[in-house]
Amino acid sequence: MSLNLLTEEQNEALQEIANIGMGRAGRSIAGVFDEFVELSVPRVREAGLDRLPAAVADLIPDETLTAVRQGFFGRVRGEAIVVFGITGCRDLAGLMGYGSALEDCEEDELLLDVSNVIVSACLGGIAEQLNADVCFSAPSVLASHVPPAGLFDRTSAAPADTGALIVEVNFRLERHSFACSLLMMLPADSMGAIRRALDDFLANF
Amino acid sequence: MPISVLVVDDSAMARKMLIKSLPPDWDIEIRQACNGEEAIAAYRQGRADVIFLDLNMPGIDGYGVLETLQAEDLNCFVIVVSADVQPQARERVMKLGAIAFVQKPVDAAKLEPVLREYGVVV
């Protein structure tokens, strides 16, 4: 269900901008795993707070999810949340050469690192192309192995008019692949700022 | 006669950005393709002297297009335009016969030296 947070043209622009950001994330991930990363084209979807668990469950059909959050500040501020399904966690552990049974702290550390790479490359790239400076807080684990509905209990502090832009992220490496979703939680005033920034960007073409 | 330029990208936005970055006084006829299949069809119809090719597209991707063109004697200039900034991506496409690899976001300053080097713009 679309909320029409962005027009079709704004969505298309954001998607291409996110694509460029994910290219950078891909290079960083390739560096971590010392393997070529095949990139996919990120799609941008939108959801209101109430629809978020359903939207995430749609993209990641796993029973339990783990999420890492990271705040971002600047002309556009909000919270970035990277969501991994249990399959994605296992795939990542496999990539790092861990056995199937990861200690919780090892898994957290791995997810924090990967999330940080994705968030800073993607949001940093978006901010740069929209001529907006952005800085990030340190990443922290929002929830570990919870059902989709439980994931957002702890974001109840977010204003009710917060909208979310969801960027699908898929990285395929030669031997493995992993998928996760990047949610950009944007309060209404930031959603306005991102719309204006996208319009400025679009005015160039 | 104008040069046939084919712009291949699944994103309409990316195609617009690229077209905007082409030299304004260049005598060209621009065609667009939004996937690899359309790109190959346009090439076979002889409608592509210069191809600006995205890599990551659904269906036949940019690598697939290059492989097909190479098997068919590659009778055109292919400039890859991609968000992929891994050095291996560049190596792969150069091996497949691309004349250049331009990183997104594309702009006139990035394209001009490439077009001049190959004499497609004087």
Q: Identify from A8, A32, A34, A39 which residue to disrupt to test chain B contact, counting B C-beta atoms within 10 A and taking the largest count.
A: A39
pLDDT digits (tens, 9 = 90+) for A154-165: 555 667 778 889
Domains of chain A: 8-198 (3.40.1550.10)
Contact B86 A37 (CB under 8 A): yes
Contact (CB, 8 A) for B17 and A19: no
Domains of chain B: 3-107 (3.40.50.2300)
Out of A9, A16, A27, name the one closest to residue B85 (CB): A27
What element of type H or E holds B46?
A: none
Q: Identify from B86, B95, B102 which residue to disrupt to test chain A contact, counting A C-beta atoms within 10 A and taking the largest count.
A: B86
**Rounded Cα distance, B88 and B100, in Å:** 14
Contact B11 A26 (CB under 8 A): no
Nearest partner of A134 among A124, A147, A143, judged by Cα: A124
pLDDT digits (tens, 9 = 90+) for A33-85: 888 988 888 888 888 888 888 888 888 888 899 999 999 998 888 999 999 98
Instruction: Please report the ipTM that was assigned to this predicted complex.
Output: 0.84
pLDDT digits (tens, 9 = 90+) for B65-97: 999 999 999 899 999 999 999 999 999 999 999
The Cα of B104 is separated from the nearest Cα of chain A by a number of Å equal to 6
Q: Chain B contacts of A19, Cβ < 8 Å?
A: 11, 14, 56, 83, 104
Residues with Cβ within 8 Å of A192's Cβ and at least 6 positions away in sequence, in order, are none
The Cα of A28 is separated from the nearest Cα of chain B by a number of Å equal to 9
Residues with Cβ within 8 Å of A177's Cβ and at least 6 positions away in sequence, in order, are A91, A170, A171
**Rounded Cα distance, A19 and A43, in Å:** 9
Contact A30 B88 (CB under 8 A): yes
Contact B84 A26 (CB under 8 A): yes
**Rounded Cα distance, B69 and B63, in Å:** 10
Phi, psi torsion values for A101, nearest 5 degrees: -95, 95
Out of A12, A23, A129, name the one closest to residue B85 (CB): A23
Q: Report helix, strand or coil for B51.
A: strand
**Rounded Cα distance, B71 and B87, in Å:** 24
